[in-house]
Amino acid sequence: MAGSVTPVDYKAAQPDPLAGFSGPVLKHMNDDHADSTVAMIKHYAGVDCSEAQIVSLDRLGMTVKAKLDIFGGGYSKVRLSFPREVKDRKAIKEVLVSALM
């Protein structure tokens, strides 16, 4: 919780290493590979969905807004964790490509 962060912890914190380029990566994924994101939601989260849009991406995973095919439909955010921490553009590409195999 944000309220439990001490001033010392806050001062020592570092920005997420993907912060500088996560926007272009998620835009590319949403524009060109939305079907792959749907497949990842189905495979890794076990949830059927008909649409999926990545809304955030960080070193530990991504948050996806998905249109669910259960419980009458509707949208929900689904968190997909990466199998390992990623710290650069090459690593994020490797993780995303391997998730689709």
Query: Can you give the residue ranges of every domain in the chain?
Result: 14-99
The CATH code that applies to domain 14-99 is 3.20.180.10
Read off the pLDDT band of 100 (50, 70, 90). confident
Q: Which residue matches tokens 């998620």?
A: 26
> Where does 1-101 have alpha helices with state H?
7-12, 22-32, 34-40, 89-99
Report the alpha-carbon distance of residue 93 to residue 101 in Å, rounded: 13
Q: How far is CA 57 from CA 8, 9, 30, in A?
A: 26, 22, 12
| Average of per-residue pLDDT values in the chain | 91
Phi-psi region of 74 (alpha: psi -120 to 50; beta: other; left: phi over 0): left
- In this prediction, residue 70 carries a pLDDT of 84
Select from 72, 64, 29, 16 the least CA-distant residue to 44. Answer: 64
Q: What is the pLDDT of residues 17-44, one digit of tens each?
A: 999 999 999 999 999 999 999 999 999 9
* Rounded mean pLDDT, 80-87: 94
Number of residues that make up the chain: 101
- What mean pLDDT is predicted for residues 44-58? 94
For residue 51, pLDDT beyond 90: yes
- pTM for the structure as a whole: 0.84
